Every structure is written in structure tokens, then in C-alpha cells.
A and B are shown apart, each in its own frame.
Chain A
Amino acid sequence: MAQVFKPSSNTYSKLVIFGALAAVGGIGLVGYLLNTSPYNTGAYMARSQPVPFSHKHHNGELGIDCRYCHTSVENAAFAGIPPTQTCMNCHSQIWTEAPMLEPVRASFRTGQSLEWTRVHDLPDFVYFNHSIHITKGIGCASCHGNVAGMNLTWSVAPLTMGWCLDCHRNPAANVRPREMIFDTTWAAADQNVLGEKLVSEYHVQPRQDCSTCHR
């Protein structure tokens, strides 16, 4: 009786087995890449807003401090989105007729909030606290990028758990002097040396327990 399997069958079977393994791995890899890609995380995508507010203009060019608008960033979990009142502090004096600012004036007139689109949106089961990060020397730019250079705002980080843990495992890569927290263009000459020094100086003890963020 003739052989059922020809010698080439060996090659085919190997191809099938390894091909299948590669396919499974490949699907996994593609899934992972898709999942962490800006397509899914929304990073690097400027969001359209009711008023095309420019951080570059207000913060980068005019030099208004982050905390002028994000008032609670140093003492609460939430950094704070400025009330319409904050916009009107200046815009009741300047650009009072600008058509671009009509939604702001309308909001102030009617008492209806402006509806901004969230740029940085953590899932609801994640409890992030701005104030402790600021106190321990994490600058705005570490997560939000160079906001002072953005016209419309986008996010520069995937905001995934792995990304959070990268820093919680190695805070020295990001800790900066407290006086440089709000300077989004600042960069250390030698972050590793400075980071190590500041981590011990500021008693930075990042936690990696689940309940740090999930509760």
C-alpha cells in the first residue's frame, strides 16, 4: 500500500502548526497594538470644543498660570474646569464682541454651562488624584504633554494602566522640582540623577496596590 503521507506532508504540517501559532499570536499582537493605539485611546486627537480655546495662546503666549483656571489641582482629586465666570473675568473687558466667544457670553447670560468635550477621560472605575501627584513633584507635562504649545487640546498619553504603572514603578523618570511643576516646556538636564535625588527628598512612595486607584 502506498504511503498515505508524502514527505512533503511534514513541511505542510509544520507550516500549519506554526502558521496557526503565529496567527494566534499575530491576532493577539494586532489586538494589543490596536487597543493601545491612539485609535482606541484617543491620544493625539484634538477634540473640537464649543469655543476653540487655545492653551497655546493663554498659557504659552500670555503666560496665564495653569492654576488660574484649574484652581483645585493642588488640593483636590479633580483639577477643576474653570467656570464661565473665569473666562468673563477678562472677556468682559477684552474681545467683548468677538463672535468666537459668543458661547461664553451666552453661558454667562443664561446660566447654562458650557459643554466641553473631555480630552483626558479616565474610566469611571479609576480614581485619580491630581493633588498628590503635584505635591510629589509630577509636573503637568508628564501626563498632559506640552499644553502650552497646543492650540486645540489633545492628550499625549494612552492613559492605560500599564502607562500609569510605568511611572509608579520608576517615578525618578518623571519627578521634577516643585517650582517647575506648571512649566510644561521644562526638561531636566539629567533627569535620572535629578529624579533619584528628588524621589528621596520628596518622599515619593508610589503605590502599586489595586486599591490605590480602584475602589
Chain B
Amino acid sequence: MMMGFDPEAPAFDLTAIRERLSRTTGRTYWRSLEEVADTPEFRDFLEAEFPAAAEAIATSLDRRQFLKLMGASLAMAGLGACTKQPLEKILPYVKQPEEIVPGNPLFFATAHPLPGGAVPILVESHMGRPTKIEGNPEHPASLGATSALTQASVLDLYDPDRSQVLMRAGEIRTWTDFTAAVAEIMNTLRPAGGRGLRILSEPVVSPTLAAAIAKILAELPQARWHQWEPLGRESVREGARLAFDRVVEPRYNFAKADVIVSLESDFLFDGPGQLRHARDFSTRRKAGDESSSLSRLYVVESAPSVTGSKADHRLALRASEISAFARALAAELGVKVVKPAGLQDQAKWIAAASKDLLANPGRGLVLAGPSQPADVHALCHAINDKLTNAGQTVLYTDPVEELPPTLKDGLATLVADMTGGGVTALFILGGNPAYNAPAELDFVAALTKVPFTAHLSQQQDETSLHTLWHVPATHYLESWGDARAYDGTVTIQQPLIEPLYQGKSALEVVALLGGNQPVSDYDRVRDHWKSAVSVPDFEVFWRRSVHDGFVAGSQRPALDIAVRSDFLTYLAQLPASDKDSGELEVVFRGDPTIHDGRFANNGWLQETPKPWTRLTWDNAALISPALAEKRKLADGDVVELLLGSRKITAPVWTTPGQPEQTVTLHLGYGRTRGGHIGTGVGFSAYALRTVEDAWFASGVKMRRTGVHYPLATTQTHHNMEGRELFRTADLATYRAAPNFARDPEHREEIGGHDDGAVPSMYPDWKYEGNAWGMTIDLSACIGCNACLVACQAENNIAVVGKEQVLRGREMHWIRIDRYFEGGLDNPAVYNQPVPCMQCEKAPCEVVCPVNATNHSSEGLNDMTYNRCVGTRYCANNCPYKVRRFNFYLFQDWDTESLKGQRNPDVTVRSRGVMEKCTYCVQRINSARIQARKEDRPVRDGEIVTACQQACPSDAIVFGNINDRESRVAATKSDPRNYALLAELGTKPRTTYLAAITNPNPELVADAKSTARADEEGGQL
């Protein structure tokens, strides 16, 4: 809850909320529980333009004092403006590098390696400083998209908390000391064939690194390689082994899938492959004319996910019930499996989904997420096999991650061996097992049993504290390497910058084990590929691969495999599970912004509002409204969660759409050595997580502590008073009335406003040249935050911190508004990105007393920071609440390393200045200058805004609306096109394409009856 609320206030009257929601007719959108409850506190919060802004001024100030202060301030401000510009120095190169032209950025193709598959990228470099990450449009795995994590990874390079020196037992040592120590220990290990030598790594997607490790293992047959990844894909691999008797990776094609049933798979958001998935999925969700067919998405899940928010039908089930659900679905689809008892409530849903799947053989897809056990994955394979989807919508390939020879060599085996004294030397290549290992494995205690331990990491984290040696690792933008994307396509990872500190790569450390050879990483990677490929001219191959950012044709080929017959008999023998006990469950998920905790020290990601909850700077125990009601819990009430002997305390957050008997915990928080930003934020859910129950566990006890903890959410900021801002219709309505979003006949449905011409007192503008405009397709948008972080990176947007977010002062130029629709327990969820609307009749411009915000000839609402005196009138007058004010000096002007990241083409704003989205005017200017130099108009697609470039689902289109041939002009003439608050007559240049859903007609009637049941307090 927000500041200003009474922390002791009782829980919302959820019964009243239910009643209020049930009374409304037609579509009802709501943004937060507070809004529906309409508490007086919420009113106060909304009515204050900038909540709690007045607090800073002492209330005892009388008129005389006020005038004195104001007079003095005015005089000081006036005098302050009289500064004479100091003399500046200019330092040229001594020998200028050939390609570098100061002022013109260069782009290099490389890849962001992540477990599961690397994200291919182009990195913008200004005179040797990597500043911004863009997607690589030519790469088949992403088609130019990036995720929020990848966008933010450039900030990690400049993180002032990065480890800068090599340490031994807390004392600074040199790399030479370390090589000598490794040589010494290896000399003792080598005669025994490497017995006692262990390597622990994260899943490896680098072929060169895998080959280097394999070489060590071949030379030292007694040495072992273990992998650990807290959000690992063991169940996917195990499921494949059950079904196919070999480890394969499924690769999905959502462009071909008409009916998709996801069993907890967050395929649109959670890697690997999510970028391509989102792009393919969105192509099938943009309703065009009659000829286009929309895909239909069914999602069954126990924790709210991005994919769940895009579902046409979402079923909130407890994680432990999903296995039974999968069997029920399989039985319905004709797979020989015993139909489980129970799930009567869901029978109709299952029947409808299976009917849909059966009607679309070869064009359906059933998939499961890594949080579901291997059985469920195997069942999905059997279903896809049965429905002839295999080979069409799903292919099977060799895994992309390079796996150790024996898969069982996981972390548990390693810890057992360490405790048993069988390990002499342990090299930990990345990862942070001391923080994120399963709770029952006491990894830290096991570390003390190993005489020689070394940890390679970018930060001196929880694990480095307990190892003998700590080696600072290079950032991926600092070292040569290679990486496979989710589809197997290899990218040669080229560095953008020399290591900032004394970082070493995993390749260098592994090379030490084989005796130190004075070879650079560049040569290691190059030599690996020289021997791995047979091409007539290697030099040509190498240069082309490095330049393009991928090795052409290196995609993993599809395997011709079938579900083994004895698996089907195994399936048939699976018991019909009992109806479970109905105990309270916890489910664990990677955090949607800081992942498994590796991004905990990244301010951009910490401040990114999480999808669905819009929480920032914290994780919370997500509980359903029904559970909150039952336990009388309000948002921010701290509870104790007991699971067996383990216990954590966590603030709760009421989340509509959460299954009633499930508590969702996001991992990655509660770091104890996470850097200045990451340390001590949130709670660590790893403390409850075990090897067996890695993803969900039953029987958790929840006890309220009576403590209240404020959680910073952005969901109630900038509220728009319940006007019809998000517009959506199902496919049938859309086909019947394509322009429903603007049609006066549907005025009732869209909130009763007339979007027609409104007389205006604002001046008329003529746009003869370019007229920039943007459309955002709400059918495509998945609410993944990639645009938000991309904007932050491109436009030097400051991080403000939790306390300021609580006051509604976040600085993001593009925000994602989240709307719920329907009942309280399982509402539909919609996301709407809102940047500056660039109104043609802009209310902000006319109220500026100092002409700091002006209308440009191309239709932008220009913002001139150096003119702004901070009256904030413009923000008061903005109906869209897209202007952001620097209440304090939010930008870090002092930390030297962070300066390297800033975009030199955008002003770094100071305190007391208003700022807002500019449509990336620096990119517009650069393209316009180029076009004018060539004496031609700006081409369509030449200007790509940062948000548009990052968008995985291609929801954002930008261009010249005066150019009839442009893509944006085409989308503006789409019947779904509508403007936000058009009735105000502001003529926004940013418009939206209404969202079209494709519900199953059979279930629509059912949904309505569910809503009725909801009103009666029932549960889906």
C-alpha cells in the first residue's frame, strides 16, 4: 500500500468489492483493488497531483517567511543563471582508430549469453563505450527483439559494485599468483587422473567453452563437471527422456499454431526462445480482415504470468493439480492414460479445449513449463504426437545447452561429494550457489570441506565470500566467446571494450586447468571454429559470422524421432491421482525483473514494475483475494511462511488471478552480498526451496505477524478515473463491427464517449513535411517491459528508488498500464503501454510560463530542459500523466563508471526539470540530417524508436503519418485504431489498436456463469 495509508487499516472489504464488480454491466475495467474499493485514502492519493509533494515544506511557514524565502530563491536563481561558461579542454586521439568518427556511433553484433540460449544483439558504441543494446534484426532467434534483461545488461557492465581485483582469502592477489596456485594444485591432481577436481558451471551455451571443458575431462577422466542453475530446465530434459528415450529440446512454432494449450509455460516471457515466440504469436493475434485467422490461447497456471495475461481462457489451478489436469486433457484427446478423478469443476473447460485441439490436428500445440514435473512434459509430447502436431508446430532438436556427460551430476551430487571429502579442488565458473542452492544442501558448509575453491564472478557475492580464491569475471561485452541462441544458431560473441577491471573469462580459467597456454580468447574461439567447420575459405566465414552476428545455417536441425511405444504403456499405467488434500501451496518463480537474482544490483530492473503486480523494488508473497479475505490480510501485511522446518517472512500482495490455495514467491531477492542496490532488498524465497520441491510445495503454513511493510507499486499512480481507456472485443464482435472501438453505436460498450471532432481553443497547426506518429497494437502487446528498459537506456532516465516510487515519482517515460476486467478471482488482464501522446492540440504547451515545451513543425511536443524552471504546470495540465519531474537530483552525476553508459545524444537532466518521451527525437534528428544530406525524404522504417526496436511482439509502429505508404499510416487506418481520451480533443499522435481476443464460444457462456458464481462468492 502507498504511504499516507493507515498501515493499521483493515483489509479491504473484498466482499464489497465483489458486490461492486457484480453490479456493473457490460465490460468493467479496473486497475487495482483500491480503485474498486474506492476508499477515501485512495481518493486523497489520486487527488494530490504529486502525492506527498507538499510534505517537504514545513507547515509552520507563515506568509512573511514564505515571501522572504521566495524572494531570496528568486534572487539566487537569477544570479545562479549568470554563470560564465568555464573553459573546457578537448583531447584528441594520439592515433585515431580507423573506423571511429567522433560523433557517429558504431554498431557491433554480439550475443548476451543466458542459460537456455543467448540473445543475439547489436551494441551501439560511442567512441569505444557500449551504451545501448539493440536486437539483431537478421538473427532468426529474435528477429531484432530484445528482452528487458538484455536491455538492462549494459548497465551491469558499468556497475560500480563490480569486482575489480583478484582475491585470496580476502586479500588482493594477482593473476600470476592465481595461475601459480592452480598449476600447483593441478600438479597434485593430474597423476590421479584428476580425481578430486570438480568444475561447477551454469548451463553452458558456448560451444568453445564446452569443448574446452570436454578436453579437460578427457585428459583427466576422474574429474567431473557439474551444472547448477536455479531456474533450470531439468524437468524439460527429463520429460523428453521419458517420451523419447533421449534428451531433446522442443522448438515451437507459434506462427503455425491455431490452438495453444499452455500448462504453466510462460513461453512469451520466460526464455529460452521467448522473443521469437512473442513475435510469431503476435502475428497470429493481429486481427486483420476476414482472411486472417486468430490463434486461441488456453493457459493453465498456478502463478500469474505474462503468457497468462494474453490467454483467451485462463484457468488458475494449483501447481500440484496441473499434472492431473494434463492427464485429463490427454485422456480426452485419446491418449491412453487413466483419466484422473477430480477436476469436475474444470471438466467443461477441458472438454472445450480438447474439442478445439481435436478440430485442429497438426495446427495445435500443448506445452508445459519447466515448473511442471517431467511427467507433464512427457504427456505433452504424447499429445502433440497423437494430434500430429509434432513436426508441424513443434520440432525436436538436440539441446542447446551443452550438458555434462552424466546429467545426474547436479549440484546435489557435488555437495554430497564435497561433504564426503571427495573434492580437492572446485572451480565455480559463474553462478552463485551459496545464495541460490536448494535450502537443504548446505553449500556453504560443504565449501569449507574443500581445500581449494575458486569462484569466477562479476561481483564479490555470497559465494565469493566463502571460496578461497575469487576471480573477477569479464562482462560479456568485454570478452571473446561464442554462444548458441535457443534454436542453436551460433553467435560469435565479440567484445566491445577491453575489460574495465582485471576480469577474466571462463575460457581463460578453464585453460589454466590444462596448463596455462599464452593464447587469447580470440584465438581460442577462432581455433575452435577453424576445426569445427569445413569451409573453403575460413577467413571469409569468420569475418562474415562475426560481422553478421550469427553463423549462417548453424541452427540445430530437427530430429526425426517419435514417442517411444513403451512410454505409452507407461502412461497407461499412471495411477489416477487422488483428489489432493487442498493444503496451501507455495510456488517458486524466477523474478520477472531481476530473474534468479543475478540482476539484483541493476537499478533499472529493480525499478521496472513487474508484470501483473506492478510492484517495484521488492518481491512479495502473492495471494489470492479469496485467501486475503479469509485470513484478513491487507497488502503489505507481513506473514510468516512455514514449510517443514524452514521459515521465511514476507509481505503479502493480493493478486487477482492467483489460485486460492497458492502463494507465489519470486526468487532473486534477499541478497546479502548483492551490491549497493541489491543487498537487503526483499526476502529470499530460496530459503524454502528444496531439491525435490524446486518449483512448488504443498503444506505451507501462513501466519500473520502483525507487522506492516510498505510495498512500492505503480499500479495506482496516474489513475485515469475509470474512463474507457483500454478497448477490447472478442473476435465475433470485431468481425461484426470492425470499428467497434470508435463506432458511436458501441458507445455504450466503450464508455459512452464520443470520439468525434471536438471544437478546440488550441491553435491549429499545419504539418506539411513529416508528421511523426505511433500506433501501439494492444492485441500484440504482452506487457513484457522490454520497451520500458530500452527507453531508460536510450534516454538516460534516472532511477529514483523505492521511497520515491512510493510517492509516485518514478521517471519512466513509457509506462505499462495494467487493467483487470471481470471478476475478482480470475479477471482478464490487459496491458497498455503509455508513452507521451504527442498531442496535436497539446494542453501542456499552452501553460508553460517559460516556453520550455513547444510544438514542433513535425508535431512533436518538444521539451527544452535548459529552459524548464520546474513549475510543473505542464504535468498538471497533461490528461495522460506522461510527464515526469525531477524532484531531486535523481541522476547519478558522480559515479565515474556510470558515466560511460550514458547516451551522448541525449541531455542528462538535472533536478527541478520536467521530462518526457520525445519519440526518441535524437534518432529522428539523425535520420533527418542523413536524409537531407542525401536530398531525399526520410524513408519509412529509417527511424526506429528505442521502444519499437526492443518490442518482441512488434506492437509498436512509428513513422510519418503524412506518408500514405508508411506502415504507421496503414495502422492508423486500421478499423481498430482509437485514441486515448479522444473526447478531450487533444488529437494525440500516439494511438492504439484495440485488442481482439479469440475466446472459445463454448466457454464464453461458461465464463459468464462463472462470473455469476463469483458474485455469489464462489471460486472457479
Contact = CB atoms under 8 A, between A and B. Distances in A.
Interface residues on A, range: 35 or more
B104 A113 contact: no
A214 B862 contact: yes
B959 to A, nearest CB: 17
A76 B127 CA distance: 13
Interface stretch (B92-100, B117-125, B595-603, B684-692): B92-100
A191 interface: no
B917 to A, nearest CB: 12
A117 B91 contact: no
Nearest to A120: B90
Given A76-B102, A76-B103, A209-B854, A82 B92 contact: yes
B87 A117 contact: yes
A215 B907 contact: yes
Nearest to B95: A85
B573 interface: no
Contacts of B522: none
B84 interface: yes
A121 B85 contact: yes
B865 interface: yes
Interface string B845-875: 0000000001011101011111000000000
B854 A207 contact: no
Interface in A195-215: 203, 205, 207-212, 214-215
A96 interface: no
Interface in A105-131: 107-108, 111-118, 121, 123-125, 127, 129, 131
A47 B90 CA distance: 13
Interface string B914-930: 00001001101100010
A84 B860 CA distance: 43
B94 A215 contact: no
Nearest to A203: B935
Contact of B88 (A71, A84, A85, A118): A118
A118 B103 contact: no
Contacts of B1004: none
Contacts of A211: 856, 860, 862, 864, 918, 921, 924-925
Interface residues on B, range: 35 or more
B218 interface: no
A135 interface: yes
B905 interface: yes
Nearest to A81: B92
A87 to B, nearest CB: 10
B508 to A, nearest CB: 26
A160 to B, nearest CB: 11
B933 interface: yes
B101 interface: yes
A83 B94 CA distance: 5
B94 A113 contact: yes
B92 A116 contact: yes
A132 B929 contact: yes
A182 interface: no
A51 B647 CA distance: 71
A135 B593 CA distance: 46
Given A113-B91, A214-B865, A215-B906, A209 B857 contact: yes
A209 B88 contact: no
Contact of A214 (B96, B769, B864): B864
Contacts of A85: 93-96
Nearest to A117: B87
B96 A83 contact: yes
Interface string A154-186: 000000000000000000000000000000000
B543 interface: no
A153 to B, nearest CB: 12
B943 to A, nearest CB: 13
Nearest to B857: A209
Given A85-B95, A215-B907, A215-B918, A115 B89 contact: yes
B101 A214 contact: no
Contact of B85 (A42, A116, A136): A42
A9 interface: no
B101 A215 contact: no
A123 B102 contact: no
A77 B863 CA distance: 21
A164 to B, nearest CB: 14
B907 A214 contact: yes
A212 B92 CA distance: 27
Contacts, number: 125
A81 B96 CA distance: 10
A75 B860 contact: no
B866 A80 contact: no
Contacts of B84: 40
A67 to B, nearest CB: 13
A172 B935 CA distance: 19
Contacts of A123: 85, 866
Contacts of B91: 113-116
Interface in A60-112: 71-72, 75-78, 80-85, 107-108, 111-112
B864 A210 contact: yes
B685 to A, nearest CB: 43
A116 B89 contact: yes
B932 interface: yes
Nearest to B89: A115
B922 A76 contact: no
B94 A125 contact: no
Given A85-B95, A211-B921, A212-B925, A135 B88 contact: no
Contacts of A214: 862, 864-866, 907
A198 to B, nearest CB: 14
Nearest to A108: B94
A132 B932 contact: yes
A83 B102 contact: no
Contact of A83 (B95, B865, B907): B95
| Most chain B beta-carbon contacts within 10 A, residue among A47, A129, A215 | A215
Given A75-B104, A76-B103, A125-B866, A131 B933 contact: yes
A131 B934 CA distance: 11
A131 B929 contact: yes
B932 A111 contact: no
A125 B92 contact: no
A109 to B, nearest CB: 9
A207 B318 CA distance: 61
B921 A215 contact: yes
Nearest to A129: B929
A132 B933 CA distance: 6
A112 B89 CA distance: 14
Contacts of B922: 127, 215
A203 B854 contact: no
Nearest to A159: B85
Nearest to B935: A203
Q: Which 3 pairs, one residue from A and one from B, show the smallest C-beta to C-beta distance?
A: A78-B103, A209-B856, A113-B91
30 contacts: A42-B85, A42-B87, A72-B104, A75-B104, A76-B103, A77-B103, A77-B104, A78-B101, A81-B92, A83-B93, A84-B92, A84-B95, A85-B95, A107-B94, A108-B94, A113-B93, A115-B89, A116-B91, A117-B87, A118-B90, A121-B88, A125-B907, A129-B925, A131-B933, A132-B932, A136-B932, A209-B858, A209-B862, A210-B856, A211-B918
Interface of B: 82, 84-85, 87-96, 101-104, 769, 854, 856-858, 860, 862-866, 905-907, 918, 921-922, 924-925, 929, 932-933, 935
Given A77-B103, A132-B933, A205-B769, 7 more contacts: A81-B90, A107-B94, A108-B94, A131-B933, A208-B857, A211-B862, A215-B905
